[in-house]
Each structure stands twice: as C-alpha cells, then as structure tokens.
Structure 1
Amino acid sequence: MTGLTIDHGGAIAVDPDALRDVARRIEGVASRYDDARSALLRAQRVILDTPGFSAQVDTVELWSSGQRLARLHSDCQDTATSALLMADTYEYVELRAEAEMLSLTDPSTAQRLMRSADRLAASDDRIAGLAEELETQWRAERFEGLIGNIVTPDIYDDAFRIAALVGITSGFGKVHPGETLKGTTDRVSVTPVKTSSPSGAPSGIAGALKRMPVTAGAQIAVEKYSFADGSTKYVAYLKGTQSVGWSGKEPWDSESNFELYTEHDSASYQATLEALDAAGAQPGDEVDVVAHSQSGMIAAHLGMESVYDVQMQITAGSPVEPTLDDDQTIIQLVHTDDPVPGFRGGGSPEGTGSADSMVITTQGNPLDSPEDWLVDAHHLDTYIETAEEADASSDPRVDAAGEFWRDLDTAEVIERTEYQAQRVG
C-alpha cells in the first residue's frame, strides 16, 4: 500500500460548513495577534516615554516583534478570507449539482436551489470562476493513477479505459435520485446456513469488512442488534460476485452485475431483501450495509429506494456511486489499480452523503508484478489491508466511523445469521 488518500470525494475537498468553522477559528487567532501587537505598542510607548527606561530594553527588537505580529495578523486574515471564499465555492458547486439532479424529479426544489446558487455567486464575482476551475480540475484528475502502473500496460490499461469510458458515457456509474431498479428478475430461495452470537460489533472499517459470510456457499450475513430500550438495528454483510457465469443457480453472477449496473432488478438484490426479511427487519428499521464489488450496487439501491433506513454503508470496489442524503454516511474504498471502480465514471463533483462520508483511495497492489494480471487489487483481502491502514490514520471521519460501531457495541444481544441464496425455477 502507498499514497493513502482520504477525502469527501469529487471536487469538494471539505464540507463547506466545516470550512467556515475553520475560518472563524482562524479569525479568532488573528484577533489574538492584533491584541498582542496593540499591547506591545502600548508597552513600547511607556518605555520610550519613561526617562532612562529605553536604555534597559531593546526597543528595536520590540518594534520588530510588533511588525512580526502584524504580519501574522494579516496572514491569518487572508487565510480566513480565502477559506470563506472556498466554502462559498464548494457550496455553490453542491447547490448547482443538487439542482441538476432534481431537475426532473422535483423541479420546484431544483429552481429554489439554483436561485440560492445564483445569490451566492452574486455575492462574490470570483465564486463562479473558481467553481468552474474546481470542476475542470476534478474532471482532468478523477482517473489519475488508474493506468500506466501495470506490467501488462496494453491489455490492462485498455480495461481501465473501457471501464472509465462506460461509466462516463452510459451515466450508470452514478445512481441519481428517483432512479429505481426496473423490471422483474428470477425467483430466489434464501436459506439460513449458520447462526451465531458475536460478542460485540466490529471495530473499525477493516473489522466490518472481515465480517463477510464465511460459511461455504453463503453470500449474505445479517446481524441483528437488540438494545436495552427495545429498539433493534441490523447490519447486512454482502459478498461480491461469486460466479462469472450467466443465469445459473448463483445469484451473485455476471447477469446480476449487468442488471444492477443498468438499473434493473436482479436475483442478488431480491435475495438480499428476502434475507433481511427472514432476519426480522421491518420497514423503517435501520439497516446498515457492508458490501464488496457487485454488492456495492445493492447497497446503493438499499440506501436510496428500499423500505429500510440505511444510515451507514461501507463499499469496497463498487462500480457505482449512490446519491445519498446529508444524514446518510458512506465510506467508499477505491483502489486506483482496480478497474471495477472505474465504472463509477469518476463519481460526481459534489460527492455524496453526510459530511462524515469519505472516499479512501490508494493503489491496491503498488508493486508491478504478475499479481496485477490476476486483478489482485479487486480482492476483498486487499481492500481489508487498505481499511486497516485507514483505521490507523488520524482522520476525523475515520474516528466518526468508529463511533458508529461503538454505538452498536452497546447492544445487549447480537444475533448473526448467514444465508445462502439460489435462483429457482
């Protein structure tokens, strides 16, 4: 692993409100520097006005200290002003992107958002230009690192280019509001194959990815958390593609991949719903999701269109990015040498989800070796290694994710069931 990056995703590096809070704190520091400079100048006047006092004090150094404090005050003010400008720019990008997404499903809200964006742009002539520069830079760099670092450049680089091109031109890489799965799919049977009682919730992102089903043939694990106040929460752990076949008994196959990516119902999605129902999840219950590969698409639609309240989802190597509300958190793990996330089309300039949402990016297999040919960077174990590195970082969003699992750990009872699903008929 090398070059781990943790950000909000898209062109927006920092949540606008968080950036404004930083600017206010910097303004507070600037005020302290100004107060210190004023106190120093008053002391200098007293020294100069007192006969014989200046001979005991280096007034030149005192004056120089005052000048340094003035420069620090000015630098802080400039930094705070720049931070506020960037916060307005990020918000302008968010407002316009949200308005564009809602233009078909909610025109009145889209118009209101555009008016807010226009008012923001009118407040400073620089905002619109900076926003355009941000989006241009994001478009130019969103696939940076995807190609040119593999020992089989011709074939492997073509795979990356094709994935990125499909994601950009098809529009399927970003799941927009109002886009729901269409049609019907094959019937499935879902059978519990193992039950257990974990001693606690996972600890960290890596711990969550390690809770994938381990029983042979199982693709789904559902953990039910029961709390002292009578409330319950669920966490679904969904494996990635299990077969490259088409329309066989295995629901997590190439057919489901194609159906989900093109926004059609799939056997794997239906199997997930049936497993949640079998585990006792009711409409409105909190159901959080940990998903690898194909199941990242299942997580997206669970979070956007299902009857469940999906507050947290962790995806590793997902080919899509959902559009989540600002009270939903998503942690996306992306390897730059994994072609599958290329189907996301680079994501979206506004990012997605709450301020605690993050995209964790690195090169899964930094050493040029034959392992790259085997797409090792897409394997779950490789993503777990990346998650372990992220867990060890000091990023505040990672700390917030840890708080989510600590809350689950207060449950009085945890029941875990692993399920095997098959197509029938």
Structure 2
Amino acid sequence: MLVSDGLEIRGGGAVSVDTESLREAAGRFDRMIDDLDVLQRRFGAARAELADERRFGWAAVGAASVFARDLDATIVQAVQIAGDLRHAAAVYELVELDAEHAALSARGDGAGVTAVERRRAELLRMFPGAEGEAFIARFDRAVMWPSYLVRQATETGSELGGIFSELGAAIGGVALGGATLGAAAIFGVGGWGRLSRDARLEGEPSAIVLRSTPPPPRMTTAPPDLASAAARMPGAGEARVRVEKYTMPDGTEQFAVYIAGTQSLGVGGEDPWDVQSNAELYTGNRSASYEATLAALEAAGAKPGDTVHAFGHSQGAMIAAHLALEGLYDMATMVSFGSPVEADVGADTLAVAIRHSDDPVAVLAGGGHETAVGAPGSFTAEREAHADSGVVDATVPAHSMRSYAESAALVDASGDPRVATVHEVFARLGQAEGIAVTEYAAARPQPPAAGRLSPRGGEDAG
C-alpha cells in the first residue's frame, strides 16, 4: 500500500503484492461480466423489438447498434482484465513459493518442500508462461531494491567530482554509484543480515557495569502509537536502555524495552554501544550491549518467559532481534527502526520494521527475507527519507532516530489496517493498573590506567 510522502506499507517478503487481493479483484470482474452478459441479452431483445417498430426511426436503431457494440467491447475488455489479474497473481505466487521452497529446504522440512512443489506445478499447468515472468520479478527485486541509495550515491559522487571538472563529475558519479550497487549486491547475495529462525549468538558473555539513571519525568503511561514509542528511545543522555514494567489487571506483568542505537564510533571503549558491538552482533556474536540489555531487563524484574515488547533503533534493533530469536522471553512485539538485520522471528511475534530506502545501515539487511516474517499483522514500512543528495549524505541523515520518528508518525496516520494491529498492542498496555519506568546506563569495566599501582603495588608486589 502506497500512502502519502512516498511511504509504502507491505506485508514483507519478496513480493509487496497481495496475490489473494488480485484473485478477489478478478472474481469481481467475473461477476461484472455475468451482469453485462445478462444486460447484453436483455438489450438484444429490446433492440430487435426496436428494429420492428420502424416508427421510432432509423436514428434510434443506429444508437442502439452503437451501444451494443460498446457493450461487447466492454465485456471483452473485462474478460481480458480478469485473466491478466489471475496471471499476475500466479507470477507473484511463484516468486513467493520459490522463496518459501528455499527456506523450507534450509530447515530440512521435506513435507513442506513437497507441498510447495505440488502447488508450483499446479500453477505452471494453468499459467505456462508465468515461470519466466517470476524469474524476471525476482531479478528485478535483487537489482532494484537499493535503487534509492544508488541514485543518491551517484549524485553525490557527481557533485564531488564536479568540483574538479565535468569529466570528474561523470567519473565520480559512476564510481560511487557503482560501488554502492556492488556493496548492496554483496550484502544481498551474502545474506548476513537475514537471520534465520534458528540463529543464535555465539561467544562468552561480556562483562558490563549497569546502573540506573533518572528517567525523564514525562511519558509514564503506555505509548498510544508508534511515534510515541519512537520518542521514548534512549541515547540522547546517559541512558542506553529504557524498561517499562506494566502490571496488568489480571496481576501478570509485561515489559516494554527500548534499546538505543550506536552511540560511539570507538572500538572496545567504555560505552558498549560502539562499533565493536555492531560488528559482534552482525557476525552472530554476543556483545556487551546485548549483555547490558539482558541485565537491564533482569534488574527491572523481567523473568524468563515473561511477555516483552521490544523497540530498537539500529544496533538496538539488532539486539531486539536476537532477544526474540534466543527465546529467553515471550517476545510478543518487535518494532525496529533502521535495522541492519531482519530476523525470522516466527508466527508468535508481531514484527514491525520501519526503514528508509536511502539508509545505508538498512542496506546491511540485504533487502530482508524473501518471505514474510512474524505474526499476522506484521508489516514493513519504507520510504525515502532524505531525497536531497550531496555531501550532506555523509552525515547519514536518513538513519537518524529523528528521521525515523517522522516516519513512525506517517505510519500511524496512514490508515493501513495492519497498523491497527500494533496500535491494539499499545491499547492493551494502556489498560495496565501500574507502570514502573527505569532507564539504565552501562559501561565496560576499564583496566587500570597505565602506571597506577595495584592494591599490592610497590616493593611488596609479587
């Protein structure tokens, strides 16, 4: 569904077209054709009577003939449209089936693979030419999904090269645009940003020091929508994780966790939300930021199996994805902003991904999974956030949390029925009888400064 400001909301996966909607539209054309056939027969009888009554004149007979010809043409056109809709549905379903076949094969699901192959053969019997078109659709997705970013890179390269000469502008545009397309293709083919359902983090837990920080005095009720949830993302101050503990009317507890994106360009420094943690998480290893998030949830009272709703930006979205996959908590909802990964979280987690087509960090997800992920009602919302290109793109404005908060507001106002599903999650949290809010800062333990004496320093040191 394409809404205002270039925002596209889709169910996820390789195809943003609902094949059932196409078939339903074809069915509506079938019913219209039946009605037109009835009208054609009735009008044919009336036309014959009109021809017999010459007193009405030849003008009336001529007008009736024109109408009959137009009616015939309309029926032929409606039949063609209904057929085209069914053919298009078959093409897009083949794309989905091929992606599902690959996923089932990777899981070793023989029965699922057989069922997909049976359905695929059935479609090809009915629509023999659909296979080639499905291949073209898959190729088009593989090449075109990073098109906005490639365009901006080309324009930026041209602008930089133009400082020197017209030839420099041409070379700069081709070089930077080509490099961007090549990098996107590598991540798309490599699939490192597409996390399978059985993906688990490796490595030993990192040592972290966790401490609570005073939460802001505002926002002590459940967020009513995605924009309000985005506004709660920590990172502007000391806090890196915000946990809201909801006591529900039945006495159970639910938790909402908001996880910041990267805050430091350092590697292995005091702040766990740094480049090192990014690299560790993206390559499937435990990070200090992940351990800090687990510690924050535990400190806020979350126990294994408790219901958790996770919201994350960038690195925080990677952490949220792994929280869902690891299975320590009952991850009911996962909302990501500008995530470098897309996780196949399973049918019990409502997955909402908000990403920008011109965000280079989102490119690391390789276009996401070819099949839809998450529970019914899950969706991906995407738009171009920063259409202007140039040297300003070096600051990556499309990846900022402020930009994603603006997109969240557009999603809330879109009117798409899938958005109502996540709004219902907020409404249920709003029924809580009590809310406790805690924000946490975290740090890696740092070694003693060089030259500092140990507790056993001096001549007595062994």
TM-score (ref. length: structure 1): 0.85
* Alignment of 1:309 onto 2:330: yes
CA shift in 2, pair 1:119/1:156, >3 Å:
closer
- State how 1:335-354 maps to structure 2 within 5 Å: 335-354=356-375
Look up the match of 2:205: 185
Q: Deviations over 1:39-64 (max 9, x none)?
A: 43444445556x46845993443444
Contact 2:30 2:82 in 1 (8 A): yes
- State how 1:391-410 maps to structure 2 within 5 Å: 391-410=412-431
3-state DSSP class of the match of 1:420? Answer: strand
Contact 1:160 1:342 in 2 (8 A): no
Q: CA deviation at 1:412?
A: 3.9
Higher relative contact order (CA 8 A, sep 6+): 1
**Aligned partners of 1:66, 1:233: CA distance in 2, in Å?**
66
CA shift in 2, pair 1:289/1:25, >3 Å:
farther
Look up the match of 1:174: 194
Contact 1:163 1:340 in 2 (8 A): no
Q: CA deviation at 1:207?
A: 2.3
**Aligned partners of 1:387, 1:346: CA distance in 2, in Å?**
20
Q: CA deviation at 1:121?
A: 3.8
Look up the match of 2:404: 383
Look up the match of 2:103: 101
Q: CA deviation at 1:333?
A: 2.6
Look up the match of 2:140: 137
* Alignment of 1:364 onto 2:385: yes
| Match for residue 117 of structure 2 among 115, 118, 143 | 115
3-state DSSP class of the match of 1:120? Answer: helix
Q: Deviations over 1:336-378 (max 9, x none)?
A: 3321112122223334335643333333222235432222221
Q: Deviations over 1:165-197 (max 9, x none)?
A: 552354312112322111213123433324578
* Alignment of 1:28 onto 2:49: no
Q: Partner amino acid for 1:141?
A: M
Amino-acid identity (%): 32
Q: Which runs of 4+ in 1 moved over 6 A?
A: none
Where structure 2 has 5 or more consecutive residues not aligned to the other structure, the ranges are 158-171, 447-462
3-state DSSP class of the match of 1:123? Answer: helix
Contact 1:197 1:414 in 2 (8 A): no
Larger Rg: 2
Contact 2:152 2:390 in 1 (8 A): no
3-state DSSP class of the match of 2:223? Answer: coil
Look up the match of 1:248: 269
Q: Partner amino acid for 2:255?
A: Y
**Aligned partners of 1:17, 1:378: CA distance in 2, in Å?**
34
- State how 1:62-81 maps to structure 2 within 5 Å: 62-81=64-83
* Alignment of 1:7 onto 2:28: no
Q: CA deviation at 1:159?
A: 7.3
* Alignment of 1:294 onto 2:296: no
Q: CA deviation at 1:407?
A: 4.0
Contact 1:333 1:360 in 2 (8 A): yes
Q: Deviations over 1:234-293 (max 9, x none)?
A: 322111011111222322111110111001112222222232233333444432222111
3-state DSSP class of the match of 2:286? Answer: coil
Where structure 1 has 5 or more consecutive residues not aligned to the other structure, the ranges are none
Q: Partner amino acid for 1:24?
A: G
Contact 2:212 2:439 in 1 (8 A): yes
Q: Partner amino acid for 1:94?
A: E
Q: CA RMSD in A?
A: 3.3
CA shift in 2, pair 1:141/1:421, >3 Å:
same
**Aligned partners of 2:336, 2:401: CA distance in 1, in Å?**
11
Look up the match of 1:128: 131
TM-score (ref. length: structure 2): 0.79
Q: CA deviation at 1:72?
A: 3.6
CA shift in 2, pair 1:109/1:197, >3 Å:
farther
**Aligned partners of 1:323, 1:286: CA distance in 2, in Å?**
18
Q: Deviations over 1:278-311 (max 9, x none)?
A: 3333444432222111122122222333233334
Q: Partner amino acid for 1:172?
A: W
CA shift in 2, pair 1:119/1:161, >3 Å:
closer
Q: Identify which range, 180-189 or 342-351, moves more after superposition.
A: 342-351
Q: Identify which range, 365-374 or 158-167, moves more after superposition.
A: 158-167
- State how 1:14-93 maps to structure 2 within 5 Å: 14-45=17-48, 47-48=50-51, 51=53, 54=56, 58-93=60-95
**Aligned partners of 1:285, 1:46: CA distance in 2, in Å?**
77
CA shift in 2, pair 1:368/1:121, >3 Å:
same
CA shift in 2, pair 1:258/1:165, >3 Å:
farther
**Aligned partners of 1:166, 1:284: CA distance in 2, in Å?**
38
